[in-house]
Amino acid sequence: MIRGIGVDTVDISRFERQLERTPALRARLFAPAEQGLSLASLAARFAAREALIKALGGSGSLGWHDMAVARGDDRAPFFVGGAALTDALAARGADRAHLSMTHDAGTATAFVIVEASA
């Protein structure tokens, strides 16, 4: 059963200006494994975090690193957040977060569905 849906779009050039103005922002927003990715990939991951917050109905006690994004062997993106993310999902009555991301033509977009398996 779907417990929440979230979507977010990021203007990549605006996001780039923010990272240039505040160099420490990259480390604050992104897990070490994400920090070396391309600008477009970082913007998509930021959109993913924002979409997840919307799907959960708020960030609660989640920090930015609790919403890290990785890719599986099949290249499908997923959240890597450990206990904090598991707790946030449970508070929403869910146990899974589905993620889709894209970037093209200067924008990055992410879509999240928060679901209860049973």
What digits encode the pLDDT tens for the residues 35-60? 999 999 999 999 999 999 999 999 88
- In angstroms, the Cα distances linking 85 to 35, 49, 56, 117 are 20, 11, 10, 16
Alpha carbons 84 and 63: distance in angstroms, whole number: 8
Is residue 69 within 8 Å of residue 48, measured between CB atoms?
yes
The CATH number of the structural domain formed by 2-115 is 3.90.470.20
User: What's the burial of 59, exposed, middle or buried (CB within 10 Å: 0-12/13-18/19+)?
Assistant: middle
pTM of the model: 0.95
Alpha carbons 32 and 28: distance in angstroms, whole number: 10
Residue 8 assigned ligand-binding role: yes
Residue 81: pLDDT band with limits 50, 70, 90: confident
Check residue 61 and give its pLDDT.
87
Q: What percent of the chain has pLDDT over 90?
A: 93
Q: 100 in helix, strand or coil?
A: strand
